[in-house]
Amino acid sequence: MSPLRRRMIEDMQLRGLSPASQRAYLRHVAQLAEFYGKSPDPSQPRLALSCRRSRPH
């Protein structure tokens, strides 16, 4: 498991997301990475910002 994926899972657990919601978020991030043809990189502000905006507050 990549450090980024592990961090995302930890963040979702801290936010209290259900396991089903966590799976959905991970699936959508994987689909987004496939669409762009590369893995998500937290150093890419536009992609990271778009992911964070879609997360619940």
pLDDT digits (tens, 9 = 90+) for 18-54: 999 999 999 998 898 888 887 776 655 555 555 555 5
Euclidean distance between CA atoms 17 and 39, whole angstroms: 23
Q: What is the pLDDT of residue 48?
A: 53
What residue numbers bound the domain in which 38 lies?
3-54
For the chain, the straight-line distance linking the first and the last C-alpha, in angstroms and rounded, comes to 25
**Interatomic CA distance for residues 21 and 26, integer angstroms:** 9
Distance, C-alpha 28 to centroid of its chain: 8
Domain count for the chain, please give it.
1
* 23 C-beta neighbours (distance < 10 Å), count: 12
Which whole number is the average pLDDT over 4-28?
92
**7 φ/ψ sector (left φ>0, alpha ψ -120 to 50, else beta):** alpha
